[in-house]
Amino acid sequence: MKRPVSRIVAIACMFVFCLALGLLTGCSGAPDTSGSEAAEQEATHEAEADVADVDVQTSGTVQLFEPADGSAKTRIRVASGSENKEAARAIEYAVGKTGVALEMHYMGSLDIMDVLEAGGEDYDAVWPASSMWITMGDTHHIVRDAQSTSTTPVVFGIAKSKAIELGWADEDGETTSPTTAEILAAVQEGKLTFAMTSATQSNSGASAYLAFLTALSGTDGPLTAGDLANGQLTGQVASLLSGVDRSSGSSDWLKEMVVADPDTHQAMVNYESLVSQANRELEEAGHEPMVVVYPADGIAVSDSPLAYVDHGQGEQAEAAFSAIQQALADDTATLELERVGRRCGLGGKVVHADDDEVAAAFNPAWGIVPDASVLKSIPLPAGEVISQALTLYQTGLKKPSYTLWVVDYSGSMLGAGKEGVVAGLEQALDPTLAAEALIQPNEGDVNVLIPFTHVVDSPITANGSDTAALLDYARSREAIGGTDMYSGLSTALDLARQAVADGGYTVAIVLMTDGQSDTYARDEFVAAYEQAGVDVPIFSIMFGEADPTQLDELTTLTNGRTFDGREGDLADVFRQVKGYN
């Protein structure tokens, strides 16, 4: 969906207010002081006594919470940031207390903005990481009653041994706060790499990127258009972003990716709450935890607003939303939110610090500081500057990507299948169309198309924004023959290994297939991948009659992800996948 630059500039100015608000407000209704632990636990037990049991069902990126006795008369559909998966216990409590079923659809921040731009679709509420995405997307003025549910800062999570090596932590986990320039120096010296979400696709990435720019500008004031024209500043930020070893369109998936392979990925930029959650999983698996590092010269804070989307649902839906919102703001829900590392007090203070689980979530051995002393917010720029900065990130400052598109052109793709693939490639690689979703290729990017049937075509390479020849081939290539995705993947792996050796890229393989593949080349590919020893994910797009078992095996092997393109707009799935590299 097109987002004219003039409109983005006009509404992005609200970002200044939205991010700053996160430092000034916590969970609505949450008290700023806490009583004794005994009194708190007694109040919690009394509240929980009136709460019904809740069933939770998960299917892909959708999670349904409903009363176990089937008594729900109303179901609220929520377009939610992926980071809210960690709030499951608070959501269960709210559903059990109100009897309202909640259907959570987890997606990226840009997707939530798209939902609102499209008139809210069939969602009753939105719950993004930041108010920015509501402000930028609510062009139809259908959002109201927005209320912050919690706050969490965007921080560096760094493996404890690595942080000690860098001089930013001691054996007890207590950390210092390096400046952004010191973090940049560690990247330039080859001492630090980190995973980070895309600044144009995810709130955590956007927030971190703006903080990097502001801190490195060396001024006390907010970032300006003149700063963005400063070659020395932009060069420094590009150098810092060269330390990105994995990108993502989702903060929650980034956390899962790091937890799955902590030896390869020793640092990430993410929400403090997700670093805390990652540490629980790491320690349970016998790995060392990360420590939280707060840059000394400024961070951004997420305000996690829950808001009603009014497109004529009626009083029953509105009353159900209000009941859920109030339940999430009461003492029991805020306790559950803080138990997963969210901050629910004014200024970022932890309200339920005496609770054992809250104390564990804000574990000082992980470098987490539960008071607000480390939450120094950056002076935020004007809306026009934010818009310019995001465009500059995508077209010039982000680390170049090397993406290999391994695409099924077997006979079963004839007709709608091929048309969907071509439309998807156009959305991801045509500079004009891709710019509408802020995923346009920059001049350092490399995209390679590898069509396959029962044989593999010669790769077609496009450098930078010159993708016309690649797209022409994608349109004209006939769909005919059998399906052998493993031989196509072997061709991609050879090129990926060379790209990794050349350096300077985030490298990924995107696989799209609509059927079950022949397997005679499977073992050879798996052995070659394991022997290569490279961190190259496979992002698989499942379409038609594709075998999820085959694709999930590739996801596990490569620490990648499988996207379901069997329902909805296949072109939109391609856009989403491109946001991961």
DSSP 352: -
Q: What is the pTM of this model?
A: 0.85
C-alpha–C-alpha distance, residues 317 and 328, integer Å: 17
Question: In the prediction, which pLDDT does 26 show?
Answer: 53
Q: Among 84, 138, 424, which Cα is nearest to 123's?
A: 138
Task: Give the CA radius of gyration of the chain.
Answer: 23
SS (H, E, C) 236-301: HHHHHHCCEEECCCCHHHHHHHHHHCCCCCCEEEEEHHHHHHHHHHHHHCCCCCEEEECCCCCECE
C-alpha–C-alpha distance, residues 350 and 209, integer Å: 26
C-alpha–C-alpha distance, residues 95 and 323, integer Å: 9
Residues in the chain: 581
Dihedral of CA 192/194/198/199: which sign?
Answer: negative
- Each of the 581 residues of the chain gets a pLDDT tens digit; together they read 444 433 344 334 444 444 444 444 455 444 444 444 444 444 444 444 467 799 999 998 899 999 999 888 899 999 998 889 989 999 999 999 999 999 999 987 778 988 999 999 999 999 999 887 888 789 999 999 999 999 999 999 999 999 999 999 999 989 999 999 999 999 999 999 999 999 998 899 999 999 999 999 988 888 999 999 999 999 999 999 999 999 998 888 999 999 999 999 999 999 999 999 999 999 999 999 999 999 998 888 889 999 999 999 999 999 999 999 999 999 999 999 999 999 999 888 899 999 999 999 999 999 999 888 888 777 777 767 888 999 999 999 999 999 999 999 999 999 888 998 899 999 999 999 999 888 999 999 999 999 999 999 999 999 999 999 999 999 999 999 999 999 999 999 999 999 999 989 999 999 998 878 999 999 999 999 999 999 999 999 988 877 889 999 999 999 999 988 887 777 778 878 888 98
Question: In the prediction, which pLDDT does 7 show?
Answer: 39
* Helix or strand holding residue 12 (H, E): helix 5-12
**Inter-residue contact 187 to 212 (CB < 8 Å):** no
**Inter-residue contact 167 to 159 (CB < 8 Å):** no
Locate all alpha helices (DSSP H) within 342-444, ordered by sequence.
Answer: 356-361, 383-392, 416-429, 431-435
Sequence letter at residue 405: W
Q: Among 32, 152, 135, which Cα is nearest to 84's?
A: 152
Q: 354: exposed, middle or buried (C-beta count within 10 Å: 0-12, 13-18, 19+)?
A: middle
